[in-house]
Structure 1
Amino acid sequence: MKLADLLREIGRPIAYHPGLAPKLGGVNAAVLFGQLFYWQARTQNPLGVFKTADELEEETGLSYEEQRTARKALRARGVLVETNKRLEHKLYFRIDEDALEALLSAPSPKSAKSVSRNGESPFRETGEVQSADEGKPCPPTGETLDRGEGNRQVVIKTKTTAETTSEITAAAARTKPPVDNFAAAAAGNSKSEINPESELTDLLIALEAERGKALTIDPSKDRVHVLTWVGKGATAEQIREAHRRAVIRRDEDGDARPTYAAFLSPFVAEVLTPTAAPAMAAAAPAGEWFKTPEGVDAKGAALGQRERKAEEDWRYYRVIVARAAKDMKAVEHVLNDAQRFNSIDLYQFARRTFGDALMPVDDYAS
């Protein structure tokens, strides 16, 4: 295969603006900036561009360590804004165009170059002070003169390319191997506190997005529910479980709406108080089977009803058992419960299930 054909198979070259390298912190920083700037123009996400380390390495040729150094340089100049979405395990990159404008408008200091005696500067140079005779300067070998003779003079020492390369190789050997994922690096470097309210809100929006639902959080209505969850110490896993139950309810009711915070709250309370049912069972008087999940399950079994499903809300199953028992006291308790907790779905389900025969006359007329 010809070299030209091989280059075509490798892929397109990555172009960058060499003039940006001094401003942005080096060639790698300029290359990474150019790639992120290119993709930012092609996304509508206000957080910017989501790219993994592997994707950026494939697109730019920069290794993870080179990317991390370039990102650090861009962040230090205010050009790069990183947003770590921990729940999604994603790191977003956004170029701050205002900061870029300010950076490029600022005058750049001229870099000083070391010049050796022959006019060339291929090596790094260091200065040391040594005595010398005013009329006979100290020779390059650094031979010392008699005490008291001569003035102070700077003697330039140079390091060869081999010595410099050896130092770089030794420093690289001491470097720890990179962790090959942005999420771990961001979690290790970020010391900012996590806002529990934002974390649970973002989780609820993400869970609805997985269902193809666009959930909007209304601060005037929904924030009180989220703050209640935070105050009760609700974890992300508990919110996930409550959401799962709420979705099941939506599906049973044929309701295509998102699971709003107000709708989710009863399920969160149910998940947070799993031990409440046994306590109620102990306190429930004999014959009031409809007041506890255990009583409902036992009554259903006695009437030959199907068993309650693992994910099924006991209050909905209670409606089915109450209809089979034709227990008017249980029917009234179910309806009152639905009204007391403002559970419209439960109330409508009970009315459909009980029908005209079991619904109280005054309730049906209303």
Structure 2
Amino acid sequence: MQSLYLATTLAAAVACLLTSLLIFARRKSGERSRVILACIVFFSVGNYMTRFLALCHGEDPKLLISVPMLLLAIFMVISYIMYPIEVISPGYLNFRRIVKLYSPWLVLALVYCICLQVGIIFKPYHSLFEMLPEVTEFQVWFRLLLSMLFFAPVLFIFTIPYTRRYNNTNRTWILKYTITFTVNILAYMIVLNFDTLIIKTVYYYVSAGCSIYIAYMELFERLIEQRNLSTGNIDIPSPDNPSVPTETLSVRKNSLCEKITLHMKLTCDYRDPDISLNMLAASLCTNRTTLSCALHELGYVSFSAYINSLRIEEFIQRVRSKESTNYQDIFYDVGFRSRATALRNFKQYTGKTPSEYFSN
């Protein structure tokens, strides 16, 4: 059984390594979700390889119920939340929000370090059941608290601000990801309660399988709606895809100005807060200089002026159609990072504040 456990640990590491490399190789311009997922899966490789090398040298890996391992598990759970956040709400994650996301983990890690400094001893246990007779002790209930926190990030998935840039995903995908994520956590909880080789071996199969299935959903199920405009290939309207206007079928080998306009109309790339001249140039298979000249032909002094004008136009359209009465939410949805920036650009574009503009 020991040999099977050793082989399973190595197989899980190799499977996650190949999965991570495949996801990274299939990343798309302007999409950070696949890069984030590749990094998360690659981090699992280090966890598996650490245990594999310890077993090869005849050492006992750290007990899963130890505080460092529980903190590591919570860190991984939080990391797996970053991926659906980027999928559901592209551009939402920035340095401040990432720090905020990890702040509960940082507090727990700080508490553990303080405990070690003041001399609190954390006894070794092999399972959660083994700790229950001493549940009144701090070193026991602190670990029980860490174990219960595994499920908290799962609920957070359904509170992520939902945007429709690129038609990135739908509720079905979110539900399937949540179920897969929950299965992985439940399997880990079983390992914490039953410290046997057979249970740990099965867990590695489940854990690696969940990572591979998430990668499968990313690469083959969650198809980002992008059109290849550089070759003039336009999607054909059908009952499954009625959103493509019939008049676009006649567009073939457009000039770059027409391609820019059509590309933005179909993909709404301007909603991406991180959109750049380089990203748009790559999408249209051209270069920065040619793209800048085309934008000048369209009457815009700069790339940012063009993007902001599209955002303001959609903002006006959404307010007029009464999709929402919250200006700040709409500003965020159309691609602005802050209310102040949005208001400044709105006044430059219309000469009025939103309140003045819509009151007239």
Calculate the TM-score normalised by the size of structure 2: 0.24
Flag the structure with higher strand content.
Answer: 1
Higher relative contact order (CA 8 A, sep 6+): 2
Calculate the TM-score normalised by the size of structure 1: 0.24
Flag the structure with higher helix content.
Answer: 2
Larger Rg: 1
